[in-house]
Amino acid sequence: MLKIVAIDRERYINFVKTQPYRNFLQYPSWADLKREWQWNSDFLGWVNKDGKMVGGAVVLYRKVPGMNKFLAYIPRGPIIDWFSDRNMKEWFAPLFNHLKQRQVFSVKMDPPLVRRKWSCDTINQSIQEFKSHGLRGRRLTDIRPDQVFNAVEYVQQELADMGWRKHVVEDSFETVQPQFVYRLNMKNKTLEKVYKGFHPYWQNRIQNAERDGIRVQLGTERDLPEFHRLLALAAKREKSQVRDVSYFEKMFETLILEDPYRVRLYLARKGDKLLSTSLAVRVDGHTWDLYNARLSETMEEPSPYLLRWKMIQDAYQQGDRIFDFRGISTTLDEHHPNFELLHFKMGFGGEACEMVGEWDYPVIPMLHWAFDMYMKRR
């Protein structure tokens, strides 16, 4: 029988850094960052009868205005052995008991599990086939995947049987964390082989950027205002929102305090002119391209290509074998503005991955239902 206990920071970090599903959202530094924006947190551990820690989770809590009740969120977690001999109830029953004691009425999680994968070659071939048959409005999910992980399908079945409810979405950005992401797997490859996997046009853009005198450098927290100005410009162009620069300043402060290599700021310049920028976050084995922006309105300008190549090289040299381009849209309509994002990332090789997505559990069913109705009517 498993128990849930509160874990101190050091013990939690020592556990999670050994786990295959570790990710930056499940490290204490991310909870520290969110505390500045009205989220409380717990570092929880599942311990067996011998007192050994066998699972962990950073749980974020937000108080509902006017009530002594809380919403709970486990981003890209929990970090458990999803495929152990234990059924899902053994993992989650003690968690629900703990959350009830914390006055939680609803919990959301998005497990760090990949459900399906599509290679860039499969996607490109399918796009050409759709074109040749005059098919419009196609999505990534209309393509037969290269891989379907049946063990993950079984986990989803168990969660549904328990009462977890999946948030079904059509596109990636309708969830807190993107449900569809693009990743470059560099395991068992040399850097030369990684580069050869890039589309020839992407290689040409990288070489042109170097010939044009574009240079990529690492920035510090002093460069964050300049990074933010480019981010705000891109957001205005895309009619989207961007966080205040104070958020990124706090991110630098909290993540570097936990690990000096956890976050890096990349700046691509020609002379004194900033052309593109990206903020990368990493844990051992995995680097994420978290926030990025470019000055140009088109992807013809070569600096973003060189910038990503520099990031990929640094990730590889640090021992990371997954470079994560983060979210993509599922649209395959070449005229849709969101397609450009997928097209750019596919040029570096790699594969599109569908995560299992968001799941909600009504810890206190009546309150969960009432809150859900309220949010739908807003």
Kindly tell me the sign of the dihedral angle through the C-alpha atoms of 166, 168, 169, 172: positive
- Is the previous residue joined to 78 through a cis bond, with omega within 30 degrees of 0? yes
Q: Are residues 106 and 15 in the same domain?
A: yes
Nearest to 98, CA basis, from 142, 61, 133, 67? 61
C-beta separation of 100 from 367 below 8 A:
no
Yes or no: say if 319 and 187 are a contact pair by the CB < 8 Å rule.
no
Tell the residue number behind the tokens 């300008």, with chain if given: 301
- Spatial separation of the C-alpha atoms in residues 163 and 370, rounded to whole Å: 17
| CA diameter of the chain | 64
The CATH number for 22's domain is 3.40.630.30
pLDDT at 378: 55
Contact indicator for 73, 42 with CB cutoff of 8 Å: no
- Mark whether 204 and 80 lie in a shared domain: no
Give the torsion sign (CA, 286, 292, 296, 298): positive
pLDDT in tens, 162-209: 999 999 988 888 889 999 999 999 999 999 999 999 999 999 999 999
One domain, residues 188 and 326: yes
Domain encompassing residue 311: 114-355
pLDDT attached to residue 370: 74
Query: Could you tell me if 230 and 200 lie in one domain?
Result: yes
Q: What does 343-357 look like in DSSP terms, one character per residue?
A: HHHHTT--EEEEE--
Q: Are strands 273-283 and 114-119 parallel, antiparallel or unpaired?
A: unpaired
Q: State residue 363's pLDDT score.
A: 94
DSSP classification of residue 310: H
To 10 degrees, what angle do helices 200-211 and 303-317 make?
100
CA–CA distance, 1 with 21 (Å, rounded to integer): 23
- Which amino acid type is present at position 150? N
Q: Label residues 31-59 b or e (16+ Cβ within 10 Å = b).
A: bbbbeeeebebbbbbbbeeeeebbbbbbb
Which strand (E) or helix (H) includes residue 288? strand 286-294
105 and 120, same domain (yes or no) = no
pLDDT of residue 242: 92
> Is the domain of 148 the same as that of 85?
no
Q: Which residues contact 376 (CB under 8 A, 6 or more apart)?
A: none
Residue 127 makes CB contacts below 8 A (sequence gap 6+) with: 138, 332, 334
* Domain total in the chain: 2
For residue 43, report the phi and psi dihedrals to the nearest 5 degrees: -105, 110
3-state secondary structure at position 180:
strand
Q: Do both 85 and 202 map to the same domain? A: no
Question: For residues 353 and 345, what is the distance between their CA atoms, to the nearest angstrom?
Answer: 12
Q: Are residues 30 and 144 in the same domain?
A: no
- Assess whether 210 and 283 both reside in one domain: yes
The span from the CA of 56 to the CA of 8, in Å, is: 11
- 89, 162 in Cβ contact below 8 A? yes
Task: Give the bridge partners for 269, in sequence order.
Answer: 215, 274
What tokens appear for 213 in the block? 């005198």
| Vertex 173 angle, CA 279 and 224, to 5° | 20
The mean pLDDT of 338-355, rounded to a whole number, is: 96
Least confident residue range of 246-250, 273-277, 371-375:
371-375
DSSP structure string for 91-115: HHHHHHHHHHHTTEEEEEE--S-EE
Q: Mean per-residue pLDDT for 134-151?
A: 97
Q: Are residues 137 and 282 in the same domain?
A: yes
Q: Sorting pLDDT into bands at 50, 70 and 90, what band is 374? A: low
24-28, 65-69, 203-207, 252-256: least confidently modelled range: 65-69
pLDDT at 375 over 80: no
- Indicate if 133 and 106 belong to the same structural domain: no
User: Do 270 and 366 share a domain, yes or no?
Assistant: no
Cα 353 from Cα 258, distance rounded (Å): 29
The predicted-structure confidence for 74-130, as pLDDT tens digits, reads as follows 999 999 999 999 999 999 999 999 999 999 999 999 999 999 999 999 999 999 999
